[in-house]
Amino acid sequence: MSLIHLFRRCNQRCVFCSYPAEGGEEGGASLKTWLSELAAMPPGLVQISGGEPLLAPAGDLRLLLAAVRRLGRRAELQTNAVAAADMKAGELAALVKALNAADGYFNVNFPADTAGLDYATTRTRGAFGKRLTGVRRLIKTGARVRLTHVISSLNYRRLPGFAAFAVKKLEGVSWVQFSYIKGTGRGADPRFLPRYAAVRPFLGRALLVCEKNGLRCEVDHIPPCFLGGFYRLNVDIVKMEEGLPGPHLAEKARLPECSGCRYLGICPGPRKDYIAVHGKL
Ligand code: SF4
């Protein structure tokens, strides 16, 4: 798996943004740079991120996706989908076609099921309605869409409500990932990192809603010991079973409490930034 940060420019100011608040390319990075980064990357899925990638020139984005396809690789386009609400239909269709040709999908950061909570999280007026429209347009245009719902202290009590919202209002979404906030970048504020134990009952109910309604889902950055009967939804398990390298090993660490845990062989432990804030599970 490889990650290209196109630039730092974004149309939201999410409290959980894990991209460094400072540094990086504000807006001037070019297609040439992205293509040379791509050529130097190890094999596997290519994640295209920002800032907000849909703010890049549409033609450049398509050329980047075409290069991914030529290399026989798959693409994940990470976006908040706000810009997709206002894209011209022809431009949107061309982007979806280029992404589909690279066997790819949109990974849409969708943090809330109400406009008020969306604003508290993204600090961007009007983003909720645009995002809803953007995702529906992507699906209607033939794109595969994954939703990433970042869990923070602002929204964890609404997890079952978000699952129901995804089922009812975002029909056609391929799957949902519930991803605990990374305590890096702007997300480094400890106030936004709830205890796993506080999240557990709400997440359990959300996963049940997904299961009952046939909506595929997965969980990242919350260890199996907090997932009950849904523990296999933790995305690290397959990586651990297959002995794959990756950030899950570098970003996480086991605690003395992990000793004797039945999931020890398939769990790298909680995130180190979680440990720094809470000290224990
Ligand atoms: S290894 Fe530690 S963090 Fe992972 S499931 Fe076991 S107790 Fe939880």
Domain ranges for the chain, please list them. 2-247
What span, in angstroms and rounded, lies between the C-alpha atoms of 144 and 207? 21
Say whether pLDDT at 22 is over 70. no
Ligand 1 nearest atom to the CA of residue 257, by list position = 7
Provide the pLDDT for residue 43: 86
Is 128:118 a contact under the CB 8 Å cutoff? Answer: yes
**Residue whose CA is closest, atom 7 of ligand 1?**
258
CA of 261 to the centre of ligand 1 (A): 6
Is 109:53 a contact under the CB 8 Å cutoff? Answer: no
What span, in angstroms and rounded, lies between the C-alpha atoms of 194 and 201? 13
Verify whether ligand 1 is closer than 6 Å to residue 227 (CB atom). Answer: no
**Through-space distance between the first and last CA atoms of the chain, rounded to whole angstroms:** 29
**Residue whose CA is closest, atom 3 of ligand 1?**
269
Verify whether ligand 1 is closer than 6 Å to residue 222 (CB atom). Answer: no
Provide the pLDDT for residue 77: 98
**Residue whose CA is closest, atom 2 of ligand 1?**
258
Q: Is the pTM of this model over 0.75?
A: yes
Query: What mean pLDDT, rounded, does the chain reach?
Result: 94
- For residues 29 and 248, which has the higher predicted lDDT (pLDDT)? 248
Provide the pLDDT for residue 262: 96
Average pLDDT estimate for 234-250: 91
Q: How many beta carbons lie within 10 A of that of residue 17, not counting itself?
A: 22
Verify whether ligand 1 is closer than 6 Å to residue 74 (CB atom). Answer: no
CA of 166 to the centre of ligand 1 (A): 29
CA of 33 to the centre of ligand 1 (A): 40
Provide the pLDDT for residue 260: 95
**Residue whose CA is closest, atom 5 of ligand 1?**
225
Average pLDDT estimate for 89-108: 98
Verify whether ligand 1 is closer than 6 Å to residue 254 (CB atom). Answer: yes
Provide the pLDDT for residue 20: 62
Average pLDDT estimate for 95-116: 98
Average pLDDT estimate for 74-95: 98
CA of 252 to the centre of ligand 1 (A): 11
Average pLDDT estimate for 136-162: 98
Say whether pLDDT at 226 is over 80. yes
Provide the pLDDT for residue 26: 58
Ligand 1 nearest atom to the CA of residue 254, by list position = 2
Verify whether ligand 1 is closer than 6 Å to residue 244 (CB atom). Answer: no
Say whether pLDDT at 53 is over 60. yes
Provide the pLDDT for residue 248: 86
Provide the pLDDT for residue 18: 79
Ligand 1 nearest atom to the CA of residue 255, by list position = 2
Instruction: Label residue 267 left, alpha or beta by phi (over 0 means left) and psi (-120 to 50 means alpha).
Output: beta
What span, in angstroms and rounded, lies between the C-alpha atoms of 174 and 280? 35
Average pLDDT estimate for 235-243: 94
Say whether pLDDT at 196 is over 80. yes
User: Coil, helix or strand for 105?
Assistant: strand
Verify whether ligand 1 is closer than 6 Å to residue 223 (CB atom). Answer: yes
Classify residue 84 as exposed, middle or buried by CB count within 10 Å of its CB (0-12, 13-18, 19+): buried
Average pLDDT estimate for 250-276: 96
The CATH number that domain 2-247 falls under is 3.20.20.70
Using CA atoms, how far residue 146 sits from 79, 118, 126, in Å, is 10, 18, 22
CA of 187 to the centre of ligand 1 (A): 23
How many percent of the chain have pLDDT more than 70?
A: 96
